[in-house]
Amino acid sequence: MNLAAIDALWNKMLVTYGSEWTRKFDGMPLDEVKGAWADDLRGFTVEQIKYGLSMLGERPPNLIQFKDLCKKAPNYFDSLQLSYRPTPSEEKLAKFRRAYAD
């Protein structure tokens, strides 16, 4: 995750939690904290990060808690199920067989 994305995440947390968010990092070098978040969130998809943000609780999460929220994101591609399978007409099947007959 790049630092611009981390800044956007930080802003979302700040808007959501206010000073409770910033107090978590008092006395810590903010660049290093953001770098750690960027490193640990690398490999998560945008959808997973958005899901994590949508699941925020009443208290601001630490990095481990936020990663756990992101990991719970549903995998939309795995859950896609196609129930409709078109059935070709007998006419189309016959035309296909004639076209590809030996």
pLDDT at residue 16 greater than cutoff 80:
yes
How many domains does the structure of the chain reveal?
A: 1
- Residue 86: the pLDDT is 64
Work out the angle between the directed axes of helices 46-54 and 3-17 (0-180°, nearest 10): 10
For 43-79, how does the pLDDT look when each residue is reduced to its tens digit (9 = 90+)? 999 889 999 999 999 999 999 999 999 999 988 655 4
- Residue 24: the pLDDT is 94
Rounded Cα distance, 49 and 84, in Å: 31
pLDDT at residue 9 greater than cutoff 70:
yes
**Other CB atoms closer than 10 Å to residue 8's CB: what's the count?**
14
Reported confidence tier of residue 25, pLDDT bands at 50, 70, 90 = very high
- Residue 84: the pLDDT is 52
Rounded Cα distance, 31 and 99, in Å: 66
Sequence-distant (≥ 6) Cβ neighbours of residue 41 within 8 angstroms? 1, 6, 9, 49, 66, 67, 70
Over residues 5-16, the mean pLDDT reads 94
